Structures are given as C-alpha cells and as structure tokens.
Amino acid sequence: MKQAYQDFKPWLRLLLRRRQRFLLGAILIWVTLIAGLSLLGLSGWFIAACALAGIALAAGLPSSLDIYVPGGGIRFFALLRTVVRYVERLYNHNTVLTLLADLRFRVFGYLTHLDDTSLRRSRAGDWLSRLTADIDTLDNLYLRLLMPPVVALLCVLAVPAFIAIWMPGVAIIVVVTLGALWLMITLGSAWLGFANSYQQTSDQRELRHLVLDQVQASAELMSYRTSAWHQQKISCQEVHAAANQRRLVFKTALGNAAVSLVTGILVISVLWVGSVAMLEGHVSGPILVMAVLILLGVNEAFSVLPAAFVKLGASHAAVKRLNALSTSPANLGKITLPTSCSGPLVSLSNVSFRYPDMLEPAVNTVSLTLPSTKRAVITGASGAGKSTLAQLLMGRISPTSGEVSVSDCAPCEVLADSRAANFAMLSQQVDLFDGSLAENLRIANPDANDEQLWRALAQVALSDWAQRQPQQLDTPVGEKGQQLSGGQARRVALARLFLRSPNMVLLDEPFAGVDAQTAKHIAHSLDQWLGNKTVIYFVHQVDDVSLLPGVEFYWQLDEGRLITDTGMHNPLPQ
C-alpha cells in the first residue's frame, strides 16, 4: 500500500495544483446528492403526513396540515437538484478535461527529453498508448476514485446527524453501519479487484499490439502463410482477456450486491427500531418514513464505489508505466554552447553506434574532422548510416563507443535549449501539424513577422504558390501536411530553417522531391544563407555538383564505415 501511494504521489500533486476546482466539484456532487435525499425524504414525510391527516379526517378526528411549506420545499429541492446536477456535470467534466490536458502535457514533456535510442526501445503505438490509454485510465483516478468516496463519506456524517434530531439511537446504528460499509467497499473492492484490473491493462496493451501487427504486417504474414497462426494468437489473447474481464465484472457485481444487501438490512433495522420508538411515542410516523426513504437514497452515493475501486489496479498499472518515463535516461544535457557568429569545429573519433537488439552497428568506428565554417558532403546508400550519424552530431543519441565533439563539447551533453539555438537539421521525415502555413513556419521562430515568413517561402520557391492560395499564409496544411505534395511539405520544413540562425546545419537530402530548376533555386538560397556556418550535406549520391557550392570535404559511408575518396580534404569529384 505504501509503494502504491508513492507511485500515485506525483499525479496527486498534480491534482493539488487545482485543488480548488476539485473541492468545488466535490461540493457540487454532494449538494446534488443532498438535494436528492432531501427531496426523497420530504416527499415521503409529506405523503405520509397527508395520509395520516386524511385518515384522521375520515375518522371524524380533528386534524390540520400545512401543505404549502412542505410543498414549496419539495419544489425547491427538485429544482435545486436539477440545476446543481447540470452545473456539476459541466464543471466536473471541464475539470477532468483540464486535468487530462495537464497529464498529457507532463507526459509529452517526458517524451521530448528522451533520446532516440530510448524512444526506439518501444513501438510508436506503445508511446501513443501512454499518451492516450494510460492517461485516460487516470480519468478513473480523479473522477471516480477521489470525488465519490469523499461525497459518500460526507453522507456518512450528514445523514446520521440529521436523523439524530429525532432518533439518536437510530443515528448511531446508521453511522456505524454506513462507516463500515464505506471502508468495506473502498478498501475491500480495491483489494478484491486489484490483480484483475492490473492484468486488464496488460491484456489490452498486448491485444492492441497484436492487432496492429496483423494490420501493418499483413503482406509479410500472407507471404509466409502465417496469417492464420497470427489470427489464432489474437483469438487466444482475446479469450484470455475476456476471461479476466468476466472475473473483474463478477467482483464488481459482488461489490454492488454488498451495497444493496447492507443498505437493505440497514433500512429494515431502522424501520424495526423506529417502529418501536413510534409505538412508544418518541417519534411520529411521517418522520420514520422520511428517515427510511433517506436511507434508501443513500444507496446512490455508495453504488458508484465498487466499479471505481475494483479498477484501482488499472490506474496503478498506468501510473507505473507513466512514472517509468520520468525515471528513464533523459537527454537533458548540462552544457551551454558559446554563442558565436561562426560555425563550430566538428570532430568524430572512432565513433560506433549500435541500436538495441541489432546484430551489426549502424555506425562503425567513424573518424573525421570538419574545420569550423567549412562545408562537407557525406554520401551513401540507404541504410549506410547517414541518418544515424546525423543524429549523433545533433546529440539526439549517444555513441556506443568513441567520442563526438562539436565546439569541444559532446552534443548529447549540451542543454536542449542550447542545441536548438546552435544546431539545425533538415531530416528525411517532415513534421507538419494540422494548422496554417504560418503556424507551421512559426514553430522555428514564434516572433517572425509576415514579411520574414514570405522571405523564407521565397527562398524555397513557395512564395508564388502561397500567394495564389485564397488564404495565403493562413492556408491549412492538413494533418501531417496532407494538403501539400511531398515536395511542398519538404520545402516548408526547409523554410523553417531559414527563419533561424544556427551555427551548424545538417541537411539530409535537401533536394528530394523537387525538380531541377527548383533544386538550383534552393541551392542558391542555401549558399547565401549558410554563409560562415559549419554545414554537412547527407545525400545518396552527388548527381549535380552545382547544387553543393562551397563543399570542400567529401566522405562516403558504406555499411556504417567511412570511406574517403583519394583524400579527406579533396573537393567533390567533378
């Protein structure tokens, strides 16, 4: 239990940042419940009092009853319950959505500090699961594990206190019984369903992975005639998950049955003890009816607890997975690079890098030196290790062996903000977001004005196209840039680089997806912009030397090893 509390502690602290919203939400739930109990109890009292008054009048006995005050009270509580419930639903759902946004922001922050090696240890679907499914599971923590128990506990105190006005002995029975029920349902349900709900999270994750594998690798599975085997594996996992879920539902039903049983016995006990008190003249019949109906209504406060606490294990599993992100090796860095107007000296000494679970290193004993403000090109076929080498220079991954140095600093030890200010890279993967053209450009420089944006677009030969669009800079690019062609999306990513002033620039296939004329325009823009920066081009092969002006160093990668053509300091072959 202590370990579970430690696991939940960081997320509970996050909740306490919005404790006013949490408390107000709990109060709204409590007021809604009290209004419902008051409506039920007062209605019961009013009906019973009217019945007794009618019997008395029919028997010729004098009787009087004020119907206006209780009638007004019934209307008041009915209206109060409706209005407060509506406000409570709006307010608490807004609170939960806000808390989920806080959670996703924190988890996404953890992910941004992980290097590429750590990210590759899990599938993309697994990271997405942590951002969605695991965080959504914590919805159960805030909305069902914290608010309802607090509200139920307040009812355990409020209802007996109200009954004690007329029947103190009955109130003692009620508070002891309801208190014991509260402990039994919260702690008992959590203990009873912890293992099954914990397992449910693992079952769902495994089933999700198997289904995604079936879809993504369908061609390979069909080629090797293993589709039926894999489908059978999915079916077995479904059967296993369904069996565990049935056990969980059964335990939830046990909790609900316990609530109904205890509250039913409590109602019968109160009715019996209250009847004795009524016969002795200590309490009137309508008051007894009111007390019994209020206790029947208390069932509403307890009925939501079993299903919530049975799933405590699922919340704990999600929390442990999210906590693992905060304790993962983070590429935070400790060094700030000096700001200068010239590019840095780049040096690699016997650098090797092997991805987890790979037999061969992606980069193998690479050594090179690129003087400050010079330009180089590294060629190689797909899979030769060019992108891995670029990631090493950017500090996104750390070498398995050897040393990488930029301005006499290991890039992986440089602070993220300092790296962002000094290094820039155009990767093969283009990241565009579902926003406008201007919003995607301003990712590189939030303070850039429209004139700077148009200048950057002109440098990549996109300004004419953008001006022809009805919304111009406000043109939506679609999710992942789907509204643009591949070449246009790549040029938008390149335009973002022109909005920055880095000292070292890495360009991975900068002319991919464009025609020869556009490539020459971009090459000319790059030549002017690169100036006295340290530059490395990563390309498959050099087809047109004029696209790489100013390049003085030429290397070639082959299966992770560096091959030099006739001398490291020779210019590009003509």
Selection from 270, 248, 147, 163 nearest residue 204 by Cα: 248
- Residue with structure tokens 């000094």? 422
Q: What is the pLDDT of residue 568?
A: 39
Please give the distance of CA 231 from its chain centroid, rounded to a whole number: 30
Quick check: pTM over 0.75? no
Q: What is the pLDDT of residue 569?
A: 45
Residue 365: both structure tokens together:
């004993």
Tens of pLDDT, residues 39-90: 988 998 888 888 888 888 788 777 777 888 888 989 999 999 999 999 988 8
Domains recognised in the chain with CATH numbers: 8-327 (1.20.1560.10), 346-564 (3.40.50.300)
Cβ(526)–Cβ(426) under 8 Å?
A: no
Q: What percent of the chain has pLDDT over 90?
A: 7
Cβ(551)–Cβ(377) under 8 Å?
A: yes
Measured distance CA(53)–CA(63) in Å, rounded = 6
The number of beta carbons lying within 10 Å of the beta carbon of residue 99 is 23
Cβ(150)–Cβ(24) under 8 Å?
A: no
Sheet with 401-406, edge to edge strand ranges: 363-370, 346-353, 401-406
Sheet with 534-539, edge to edge strand ranges: 423-426, 504-508, 534-539, 375-379, 551-558, 561-564
Tens of pLDDT, residues 505-516: 888 777 777 677
Residues contacting 162, CB < 8 A, separation 6+: 294
Residues contacting 90, CB < 8 A, separation 6+: none
Measured distance CA(63)–CA(58) in Å, rounded = 10
Selection from 234, 230, 212 nearest residue 221 by Cα: 230
Strands 401-406 and 561-564: unpaired
Measured distance CA(473)–CA(454) in Å, rounded = 8
Q: What is the pLDDT of residue 116?
A: 61
Q: What residues pair up with 377 in beta bridges, in sequence order?
A: 537, 554
Q: What is the pLDDT of residue 566?
A: 38
Measured distance CA(212)–CA(206) in Å, rounded = 10
DSSP letters for 216-272: HTHHHHHHTT-HHHHHHHHHHHHHHHHHHHHHHHHHHHHHHHHHHHHHHHHHHHHHH
Residue 516: both structure tokens together:
């020869």
DSSP letters for 262-312: HHHHHHHHHHHHHHHHHHTTSS-HHHHHHHHHHHHHHHHHHHTHHHHHHTH
- Residue with structure tokens 């070498």? 399
Ranges of the chain whose pLDDT falls below 70: 1-5, 109-140, 142, 325-344, 357, 416-417, 480-483, 514, 544, 564-574
Helices and strands counted in the chain (H then E): 22, 9
- Residue with structure tokens 């009290």? 34
Cβ(444)–Cβ(402) under 8 Å?
A: no
Measured distance CA(192)–CA(312) in Å, rounded = 10
Measured distance CA(400)–CA(218) in Å, rounded = 34
Residues contacting 145, CB < 8 A, separation 6+: 308, 309, 312, 315
Measured distance CA(561)–CA(352) in Å, rounded = 9
